[in-house]
Amino acid sequence: DKHIEWQHRDRDVYYKHRAQAKAPETCHKYMCISIDGMDHSKSDIPSMARDDKRTGGTTKLATHLTGVLIHGHQPLCYTWHDRFPAGSDPIATILLDALTRIEGPLLPTLYIHLDNCGRENKNRFILGLTHLLVEWGVFKKIKIGFLQVGHTHDDCDQMFSNFSNPLIFADRFTVDDIA
Q: What is the pLDDT of residues 99-135, one digit of tens each?
A: 999 988 899 999 998 887 777 788 899 999 999 999 9
Question: Strands across the sheet with 109-114, in order?
Answer: 76-81, 63-70, 30-37, 109-114, 141-146
3-state secondary structure 6-63: HHHHHHHHHHHHHHHHHCCCCCCCEEEEEEEECCHHHCCECECCCCCHHHHCCCCECE
pTM: 0.81
Nearest of 40, 37, 44, 39 to residue 172 by alpha carbon: 44
Phi, psi of 113 (to 5 degrees): -115, 125
Q: 22-78 pLDDT, tens per residue?
A: 999 999 999 999 988 776 666 666 666 676 776 667 777 777 788 899 988 888 988
Provide the CA 98 distance to its chain's centre, in angstroms.
10
Identify the bridge partners of residue 36 per DSSP, sorted by sequence position. 67
